[in-house]
């Protein structure tokens, strides 16, 4: 039962000519439904480009409410409504997103053709907890350290140990070793690496992580693969970011839009 990760967007706060804001689709070859992790603007366009069936998205996980991580949600929802979707859609996010989406639907006088259920990420909880669990997967969340309440996500397949896969997603966060217990030994860790090491002070001020810091976390957590992303728009070429991370953690890949990675 393998997991795969489709990379739809890997830019940071602003899109560039070649990169869109954060959006990832996690798929299992034993499930018909998909999980959407963050949903920046342009997400549904990238889904069409990559041939990802939007109707298959059953659950959306939004790490935090900075626009580059959720501005695509209302567009995704309204497109699904136009398609006549009937399957329930679940959104896991911090509480204000429910108010934002419902206001947008109200202003547009939209009555959805499908049930839309919001699940609140509890900003008061300082430790990780389970969000969703069924026969094949367990999905947990844990706190990150950013300028607003931000959560990471852990996806764990529930099958024979030798075949099961795990994936952890750490979006915007300052360097923090507090996340290590939640991500330890995962098969793939996505960790933001907005800046190179020579901008470490700016990264600290903006509650972001450098390439070497992301690689250090991967090494301390003993993960099998590290995937970096959320690159600052100042970098046209991300090769130096990848090379820098590899000096600490050799098994590092760079998120590149339009590719699908096996976990």
Cα gap 34→53, rounded to integer Å? 9
Q: How confident is the model at residue 193 (pLDDT cuts 50, 70, 90)?
A: very high
pLDDT digits (tens, 9 = 90+) for 17-52: 889 999 999 999 879 999 999 999 999 999 999 999
Number of domains forming the structure of the chain: 1
User: Which residue numbers are catalytic?
Assistant: 68
Q: 154: number of CA atoms within 13 Å, CB side?
A: 23
pLDDT digits (tens, 9 = 90+) for 199-212: 999 999 999 999 99
pLDDT at 159 over 80: no
Q: What is the mean pLDDT of residues 251-255?
A: 98
State residue 1's pLDDT score: 53
State residue 227's pLDDT score: 98
The distance in angstroms from the start CA to the end CA of the chain is: 10
Q: How confident is the model at residue 72 (pLDDT cuts 50, 70, 90)?
A: very high
State residue 229's pLDDT score: 98
Q: What is the mean pLDDT of residues 235-239?
A: 96
pLDDT at 160 over 70: no
Residue 245: domain span:
3-262
State residue 176's pLDDT score: 98
What CATH number is attached to the domain comprising 57?
3.60.15.10
State residue 158's pLDDT score: 86
Cα gap 56→74, rounded to integer Å? 17
Neighbours of 131 (CB within 10 A): 18
The two tokens of residue 57 are 């998205």
Q: How confident is the model at residue 82 (pLDDT cuts 50, 70, 90)?
A: very high
Averaged pLDDT of the chain: 96
State residue 163's pLDDT score: 79
State residue 261's pLDDT score: 97
Which pTM does this prediction carry?
0.96
**Please, are residues 92 and 121 in contact by the beta-carbon 8 Å criterion?**
yes
pLDDT digits (tens, 9 = 90+) for 103-134: 999 999 999 999 999 999 998 888 999 999 99
Check residues 2 and 244 and name the one with the higher pLDDT.
244
**Please, are residues 70 and 60 in contact by the beta-carbon 8 Å criterion?**
no
Check residues 225 and 30 and name the one with the higher pLDDT.
225
Cα gap 108→241, rounded to integer Å? 42
Distances (CA, A) of 93 to 66, 149, 158, 220, 242: 12, 10, 24, 28, 30
């Amino acid at each position: 039962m393998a997991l795969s990760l489709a990379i739809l967007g890997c830019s940071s706060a602003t899109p560039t000519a070649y990169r869109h804001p954060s959006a990832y689709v996690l798929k299992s070859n034993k499930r018909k439904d998909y999980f959407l992790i963050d949903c920046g603007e342009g997400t549904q366009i990238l889904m069409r480009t990559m041939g990802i069936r939007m109707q298959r998205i059953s659950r959306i996980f939004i790490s935090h409410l900075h626009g580059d991580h959720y501005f695509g949600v209302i567009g995704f929802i309204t497109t699904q409504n136009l398609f006549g979707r009937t399957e329930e859609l679940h959104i896991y996010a911090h509480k204000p997103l429910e108010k934002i989406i419902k206001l947008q639907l109200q202003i547009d006088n939209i009555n959805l053709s499908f049930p839309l259920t919001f699940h609140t990420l509890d900003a008061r909880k300082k430790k990780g907890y389970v969000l969703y669990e069924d026969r094949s997967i367990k999905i947990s969340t844990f706190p990150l350290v950013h300028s607003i309440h931000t959560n990471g996500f852990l996806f764990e397949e529930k099958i024979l140990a030798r075949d099961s896969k795990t994936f952890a997603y750490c979006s915007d966060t300052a360097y923090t070793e507090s996340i290590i217990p939640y991500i330890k030994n995962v098969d793939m860790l996505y960790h933001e690496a907005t800046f190179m090491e020579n901008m470490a002070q700016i990264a600290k001020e903006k509650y972001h992580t450098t390439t070497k810091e992301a690689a250090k976390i991967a090494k301390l957590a003993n993960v099998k693969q590290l995937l970096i992303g959320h690159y600052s728009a100042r970098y046209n070429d991300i090769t130096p970011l990848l090379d820098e991370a590899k000096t600490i953690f050799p098994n590092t890949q760079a998120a590149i839009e339009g590719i699908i990675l096996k976990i």
